């Protein structure tokens, strides 16, 4: 509803803070697909804050990875390397691929 109200105003820039928070996986994907399609159709600049790296990897064109005190890296998908994400979050992560889609997996011991 809030996104629809924003779009009626025909913005050039759309700022979204966790637009899929509290949605189930199916609806997260549906909403982000719609946002991506609208961004392209209307030639918008869309900035989306996401804490789910796997959704970001699936839908974003460019990234700004923030650490606790500063930006860690910015750029295209390649900047989301395991080392950069690990530095930002203070944990070990592995970037891999599943079904042709890039994914980030945290490496945590069972005792953690």
Quick one: pLDDT band at residue 45, thresholds 50, 70, 90?
very high
Position 75 pLDDT exceeds 80:
yes
How many percent of the chain have pLDDT more than 70?
A: 96
Residue-level pLDDT at 1: 66
91-95 average pLDDT score: 95
Instruction: Give the integer Cα–Cα distance in Å for 53 and 39.
Output: 20
Enter the pTM of the model.
Answer: 0.86
Closest residue by Cα to residue 90 from 110, 72, 63: 72
How is the chain split into domains, by residue range? 1-49, 62-112
pLDDT digits (tens, 9 = 90+) for 7-29: 889 999 999 999 999 999 999 99
Note the pLDDT of residue 4: 85
For residue 112, pLDDT over 60 is answered with no
Handedness of CA 37, 3, 22, 86 (dihedral sign): positive
Residue of higher predicted confidence among 112 and 5: 5
pLDDT per residue as tens digits for the range 58-70: 999 999 999 998 9
* pLDDT above 60 for 33: yes
């Amino acid at each position: 509803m809030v996104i629809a109200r924003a779009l009626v105003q025909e913005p050039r820039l759309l700022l979204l803070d966790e637009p899929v928070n509290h949605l189930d996986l199916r609806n997260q994907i549906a909403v982000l697909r719609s946002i991506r399609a609208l961004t392209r159709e209307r030639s918008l600049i869309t900035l989306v804050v996401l804490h789910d790296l796997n959704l970001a990897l699936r839908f974003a064109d460019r990234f700004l990875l923030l650490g606790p005190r500063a930006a860690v890296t910015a750029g295209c998908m390649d900047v989301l390397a395991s080392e950069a994400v690990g530095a930002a979050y203070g944990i070990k992560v592995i970037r891999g691929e599943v079904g042709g889609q890039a994914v980030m997996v945290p490496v945590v011991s069972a005792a953690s």
